[in-house]
Amino acid sequence: MVNVTLRVNGETRSASVPPETTLLRLLRDQFNLTGSKLGCDVGDCGACTVIVDGQPVNSCLMLVGQVEGREVLTIEGLANADHLYPLQKLFEHFGSLQCGFCGPGVIMSAKALLDENPDPSTEEIRDALGGNLCRCTGYTKMIEAIKGASCILRGEEAPLVKSA
Amino acid sequence: MAEKPKVIEKPDVLERPDILKPQAPAPLVAFPIEVVVPEGRQQTPAVGQRASRADGRLHGLGQTKYIDDMYFPNMLFAKIKRAGIASARIKNIDTKEAEAMPGVVAVITGRDIPCNSFGPSLKDQPVLADTRVFHAGDGVAAVAAVSEQIATEALEKIKVDYEVLTPVLDPLESLKLETPGVHAPSANIYGHKVIKKGDVEKAFAESDHVFEGTFRTQMVEHVPLEPYACIAQWDANGRVTIYSTLGRITLGRADVARTLGIPMSRIRIVATVVGGNFGGKNEIRAEPAMALLSKKTGRPVKCVFTRSEEFTSSTTRHPLIMDYKTGVTKQGKILGRKIRLVLDGGAYCSWSETTLGKACILSAGPYNIENLYAEAFVVYTNKTMTGAMRGFGAPQVCFAYESHMDDIAKALGIDPLEIRLLNAFDEGSLSPTSQKLHSVVVKESLLRAAKRFGWNGIGDGVGNGNGA
Amino acid sequence: MKSFEFFAAKDSSDAVTLLAQHAANAKVKIIAGGTDLLADLKFAAHGPDVVVDISHVDDLKNITLTEQGLNIGALVTHTQIMRSPLIRQFFPALVDAAHTIGAVQTRNLGTLGGNLVTAVPSMDSGPTLMALEAIVTIAGNGGRRQVPLNEFFVGPRKTILKPDELLAEIIIPKQNLGKPTHFLKFGLRKGQALALVNVAASFWVDWEKNVFLAPRIGLGAVAPKVIRAPQAEAYLEGRTISAEAMAEAGRVAVGDAKPISDFRASAEYRRHLVAVLTKRALESAWTLAQTRRLEGWNGQRNA
């Protein structure tokens, strides 16, 4: 067994798990944070994307022993009881998610991008989402939402769609 | 050995202290969560309104509960042993060693399934292979254990004694009557359709040119981001509740009832939000096996496919072999067309009959063809079963007839747009099956599209591999 | 994934000690970024008994300019390569190569050393480093040794690393600092794609005679390991720089490649790609050489 202590969404969490446990399994099975999804388990689909020490990573490709002392942010750490995170709000507004299974991973990739680059171009957004597969093929609306969220995070008005 | 460093560059993360800053759980800018609840009996206008998805917010918050996000107290985890052989006779399955493993609670094989066959049309698919393996993705045994890890390790302890048989892999071979039946004594052709209109041979005789072409498409997996998953819970009253990624729960309920040999009234299927279906989650997979494992253990049992199982043991899109023969005038007007489609059905029927019909009906394309003979076959092979996938055969035949049109246009030196305008359906045209068509805008759509991407005829360069 | 014992190394000497302790009587695997290793172990019938984690080993994460050249620690991630001012300045080709690997998530985890140690013939870091005649430092219990990268690879997924050794750093020799280099990859799509063929070309220019000097071509995915293209290099050496020469070098490079057919591409298509990509990589390296000359770079071999 490996004893691991790390910070998840601002809280210190500990667990004692077999060494072959991945960060994704730790989050889902031990901490009940099921927002991060298991899609392929080999780092191809990006549904398990979380932010570790500021960088988006595939949580299915990290062993628990490797996340000792690290700072992990998951989809559950973006919003609180009263507020949505701008990306979540705009993904909802633009209807960017269809089946939704890729959503948490996509939003975490987008969050990491906007943290670094407050005004990304379409090309930069596409590059940032290169590791997140969406089989409902809803990338266009995701890009619209990410651009909208970047406006809001910069304190500008987002180009929302008006109801008829 | 390296010399003493001159310039030291710290890793970039260290140059960017902001990256290492703990992430604040509360965002800087946020939206208050507003919940719009319409008043009772209030008529909400739909047409002309912007609709937002009811599930969009929960998706974005990561709060949507898919099957794998559910957990029940005392739940077991199941794994299925896959044959890995395309065609074989099962002589013996020894599960003793697996059953003896600490943490393994129950093992079942195909012999434990009360009625081991199901399917949306033909009931030709076993829940777990019992006497015969028909394709490599067939399950031969299922293990329920206290953890997924133990269940996976137990699979290796199950010893299966196979008599390996020669598989039928080529659909054209399978089409021949002398080829051994995949499901002997039944023949390999399990679906056939013909559409006949006018006299195609006469039309060929009257044509200035007759063109032939063969087109093939490959097998395609749906790859829903959410792999297949289900949880079965058999209760003490003899009722079973199944939580499943199934898209067609009523149909699935009938199949579960058939395979378990219990009335439908004792089966409850709960479908939650599906993480992508695309036609690949339209029939049951492991539900009856999980129900039996739950019955045997008295505990809830969960099964989630790996990504590779999703490829080998769920349905896929039919590969098609499509022979086209078309007689045309010098100007490119189609006088007659003869088509033969061979659908590779894989090991089981699944939704092949629907796919066969739709592919055949659409195989002539959106063109006025007075003389038509279209014939379609679907055959068994010892490969992953093919079933429903977006379009039910329509994309495959579209690839064939449009490629064929391009080939004809090129050979005749006609603009590929012109040849389509010359032959395309008009308002009131009859489909190959004599359905009168309304709201037909093929030509308008073609012209508008050509204008939008700047098509100026042959030699313009736009069509030369640059894409639209 | 099969169970194993897990040890985290604090620094590189600790890592070497751990390897020495366990490698004698157990199957040991080193985990750095884990992007290749874990994807393999999840489906491996026989996993390692011991996994030594070096992801926290900070002394292998530096990018340093030394007397020997540019030293890149084996644990530098692909993202760090893309962001490193030193690498961006001297070797934009390495930045391009890093950018084509996997996607953001895998580039944040995956390391340069890991990419080399995996020794997959289609690795994207390989051709550029081969074209720059990189040297690798291997750390073992008996000390450190250096070998040219060319000799590091043995075959598909095989290197000269012994079970108790680890790759410590990658050095681009001083004489190649700033050598105009270009990397090109052809995959079936942009993100998350393995190369059908990848090529890197580098050369110095004798501006007086307008000829190629020390041309080096690295080819990936066309042989059991990443290779150099000796015939194409010999063809270019001392030859007058021209579009025709670059196109011919591409054709000659086809003779250096020994591609196979697999489900991604046929050998014939790969040979075609070698010719085209080699030519284009040479052309782009030539453009870079000219730009650098205009920008006031020495433009000569500076050693």
The CATH 3.30.390.50 portion of chain C extends over 178-294
Q: Which of B118, B137, B164 is the last residue of a domain?
A: B164
- Compare CB distances from A152 to B29, B58, B304 and report the shortest one's residue: B29
What pLDDT does A80 receive? 85
At C158, which helix (H) or strand (E)?
strand C158-159
Environment class of B63 (CB within 10 Å of its CB; exposed 0-12, middle 13-18, buried 19+):
middle
Whether C169 and B2 lie within 8 Å, measured CB to CB: yes
A153 touches chain B (CB under 8 A): yes
Whether A127 and C104 lie within 8 Å, measured CB to CB: yes
* Residue written as token pair 């304190």: A155
- Compare CB distances from C64 to B7, B153, B156 and report the shortest one's residue: B7
Chains touching A, CB cut-off 8 Å, 3+ pairs: B, C
Rounded to two decimals, the ipTM of the complex is: 0.96
Most B CBs within 10 Å: which of C62, C86, C91, C138, as the mutation test of the B interface? Answer: C62
Instruction: Give strand ranges (E) for A9-159.
Output: 11-17, 49-52, 55-58, 71-73, 83-84
Query: What are the residue ranges spanned by the domains of chain A?
Result: 2-77, 86-153
- Bridge partners of C200, per DSSP, are C183, C218
Are B202 and B216 members of one domain?
Answer: yes
Q: How far is CA B385 from CA A119, B124, B173, B312, B336, in A?
A: 47, 11, 17, 9, 34
**Tally of domains in chain B:** 3
Across chain A, what does the average pLDDT equal? 95
Whether A46 and C103 lie within 8 Å, measured CB to CB: yes
**Residues in Cβ contact with C144 at an 8 Å cutoff, skipping those fewer than 6 apart:** B1, C137, C138, C168
Closest residue in A to C79 (Cα) is A55
Whether C84 and B3 lie within 8 Å, measured CB to CB: no
What is the rounded CA–CA span in Å between residue C87 and residue C77? 13
Q: How far is CA B330 from CA A65, A140, B213, in A?
A: 73, 44, 18
What is C178-294's CATH number, 2.40.30.170, 3.90.1150.10, 3.30.390.50, 2.60.120.620? Answer: 3.30.390.50
What is the rounded CA–CA span in Å between residue B245 and residue B275? 8
Confirm if B192 and B345 have CB atoms less than 8 A apart: no
> Domain for residue B352, yes or no?
yes
Phi, psi of C19 (to 5 degrees): -65, -45
For C26, half-sphere exposure in the C-beta direction (CA atoms, 13 angstrom radius) is 17
C111 touches chain B (CB under 8 A): no
User: How far is the alpha carbon of A15 from chain B, nearest alpha carbon, in Å?
Assistant: 17
What pLDDT does B3 receive? 46
Confirm if B221 and B311 have CB atoms less than 8 A apart: yes
What pLDDT does B50 receive? 74
For residue A112, the chain C residues in CB contact (below 8 A) are: 104
Cis peptide before B185 (omega within 30 of 0): yes
- Collapse the DSSP code of C144 into the 3-class scheme (helix H, G, I; strand E, B; otherwise coil) and give the result: strand
User: pLDDT per residue over C206-254, tens digit each?
Assistant: 999 999 999 999 999 999 999 999 999 999 999 999 999 999 999 999 9
The one-letter amino acid at B95: T
Q: For chain A, how are helix, strand and coil distributed in percent, rounded to 5?
A: 40, 20, 45
> Domain for residue B175, yes or no?
yes
* Token pair listed for B49: 């309104």
Phi, psi of B428 (to 5 degrees): 90, 0
The CATH 3.30.465.10 portion of chain C extends over 61-175
For chain B, what is the largest distance between any 2 Cα atoms, rounded to a whole number of angstroms? 89
CB contacts under 8 A, B 180-219 vs A, are none
At B106, which helix (H) or strand (E)?
strand B104-109
Task: Count the neighbouring beta carbons within 10 Å of the beta carbon of residue A9.
Answer: 20
What is the rounded CA–CA span in Å between residue C287 and residue B127? 63
Kind of pairing, strands C195-206 and C181-187?
antiparallel
For B109, half-sphere exposure in the C-beta direction (CA atoms, 13 angstrom radius) is 20
Phi, psi of B384 (to 5 degrees): -50, 135
Are B194 and B152 members of one domain?
Answer: no
What is the rounded CA–CA span in Å between residue B457 and residue B460? 6
For residue C192, the chain A residues in CB contact (below 8 A) are: 44, 130-131
Angle at A81 between CA A78 and CA A87, to 5 degrees: 35
A/C interface, count of CB pairs below 8 Å: 89
Are B261 and B355 members of one domain?
Answer: no
> Domain for residue B4, yes or no?
no
- Collapse the DSSP code of C273 into the 3-class scheme (helix H, G, I; strand E, B; otherwise coil) and give the result: helix
What is the rounded CA–CA span in Å between residue C204 and residue C293? 11
- From first to last of its 303 residues, what are the pLDDT tens digits of chain C? 999 999 999 999 999 999 999 999 999 999 999 999 999 999 888 899 999 999 999 999 999 999 999 999 999 999 999 999 999 999 999 999 999 999 999 999 999 999 999 999 999 999 999 999 999 999 999 999 999 999 999 999 999 999 999 999 999 999 999 999 999 999 998 888 999 999 999 999 999 999 999 999 999 999 999 999 999 999 999 999 999 999 999 999 999 999 999 999 999 999 999 999 999 999 999 999 999 999 887 645 543
pLDDT along chain B (468 residues), means of 10: 46 42 56 80 72 89 96 97 98 98 98 97 96 98 97 97 98 96 94 97 98 98 97 97 95 97 97 94 97 98 97 98 98 98 98 97 97 98 97 97 98 96 97 95 96 80 42
For residue B21, the chain A residues in CB contact (below 8 A) are: 54
Are B240 and B254 members of one domain?
Answer: yes
Closest residue in C to A40 (Cα) is C39
Whether B13 and C80 lie within 8 Å, measured CB to CB: yes
Q: Which of B267, B282, B312 is the last residue of a domain?
A: B312
Closest residue in B to C73 (Cα) is B11
Sign of CA dihedral B286, B292, B296, B299: positive
For residue C51, the chain A residues in CB contact (below 8 A) are: 19, 63
For the domain made up of C61-175, the CATH class stated in words is alpha beta
User: How far is the alpha carbon of B247 from chain A, nearest alpha carbon, in Å?
Assistant: 12
| CATH code of the domain containing B383 | 3.30.365.10
* Token pair listed for B326: 């078309």
For B205, half-sphere exposure in the C-beta direction (CA atoms, 13 angstrom radius) is 4
* Token pair listed for C23: 């490698």
Fold assignment, A86-153: DNA polymerase; domain 1 (1.10.150)
* Token pair listed for B202: 């006469």
For B265, half-sphere exposure in the C-beta direction (CA atoms, 13 angstrom radius) is 1
Q: How far is CA B399 from CA B66, B121, B413, in A?
A: 35, 27, 21
Chains touching B, CB cut-off 8 Å, 3+ pairs: A, C
User: pLDDT per residue over A10-27, tens digit each?
Assistant: 999 999 999 999 999 999
Are B281 and B405 members of one domain?
Answer: no
What pLDDT does B19 receive? 42
What is the rounded CA–CA span in Å between residue B360 and residue B197? 13
> Domain for residue B242, yes or no?
yes
C243 touches chain A (CB under 8 A): no
What is the rounded CA–CA span in Å between residue B386 and residue B347? 8
Are B129 and B255 members of one domain?
Answer: no
**C240-271 burial: b if 16+ Cβ within 10 Å, else e:** ebeeebbbbbbbbbbebbebeeeebbeeeebb
Residue C247 CA from chain centroid, whole number: 24
The CATH 3.30.43 portion of chain C extends over 5-53
Q: How far is CA C89 from CA A117, C92, C101, in A?
A: 21, 7, 20
For the domain made up of A2-77, the CATH class stated in words is alpha beta
Are B280 and B368 members of one domain?
Answer: no
Most A CBs within 10 Å: which of C28, C77, C105, C107, as the mutation test of the A interface? Answer: C105
What is the rounded CA–CA span in Å between residue C36 and residue A61? 9
Environment class of B164 (CB within 10 Å of its CB; exposed 0-12, middle 13-18, buried 19+):
exposed
Q: How far is CA A44 from CA A47, B78, B274, C43, C113, in A?
A: 9, 24, 20, 15, 21
A88 touches chain B (CB under 8 A): yes
Task: Count the neighbouring beta carbons within 10 Å of the beta carbon of residue C287.
Answer: 12
* Token pair listed for A138: 């809803």
Structural domain containing residue B271: 229-312
Are B291 and B397 members of one domain?
Answer: no
> Domain for residue B13, yes or no?
no
Phi, psi of C190 (to 5 degrees): -75, -55
What pLDDT does B18 receive? 46
> Domain for residue B27, yes or no?
no
What is the rounded CA–CA span in Å between residue B53 and residue A101? 15
C209 touches chain A (CB under 8 A): no
User: pLDDT per residue over C260-290, tens digit each?
Assistant: 999 999 999 999 999 999 999 999 999 999 9
B11 touches chain A (CB under 8 A): no
Closest residue in C to A21 (Cα) is C1
What is the rounded CA–CA span in Å between residue A15 and residue A25? 12
Residue C138 CA from chain centroid, whole number: 15
CATH architecture of C5-53: 2-Layer Sandwich (3.30)
Whether B4 and C66 lie within 8 Å, measured CB to CB: yes
**B447-465 burial: b if 16+ Cβ within 10 Å, else e:** eeebeeeebeebeeeebee
What pLDDT does B460 receive? 55
What pLDDT does A163 receive? 57
What is the rounded CA–CA span in Å between residue C147 and residue A49? 37
* Residue written as token pair 């619209």: A144
Confirm if B303 and B290 have CB atoms less than 8 A apart: yes
* Token pair listed for C27: 């199957």
Whether A56 and C104 lie within 8 Å, measured CB to CB: yes
What pLDDT does A56 receive? 98
Alpha helical stretches, state H, B123-278: 148-157, 171-175, 200-206, 249-260
**A25-46 burial: b if 16+ Cβ within 10 Å, else e:** bbbbbbbebbbbbbbbbbbbbb
Are B217 and B342 members of one domain?
Answer: yes
Whether C6 and A132 lie within 8 Å, measured CB to CB: no
End-to-end CA separation in angstroms for chain A: 59
Confirm if C37 and C111 have CB atoms less than 8 A apart: no
Whether A135 and B224 lie within 8 Å, measured CB to CB: yes
For residue A82, the chain B residues in CB contact (below 8 A) are: 32-33
For B299, half-sphere exposure in the C-beta direction (CA atoms, 13 angstrom radius) is 17
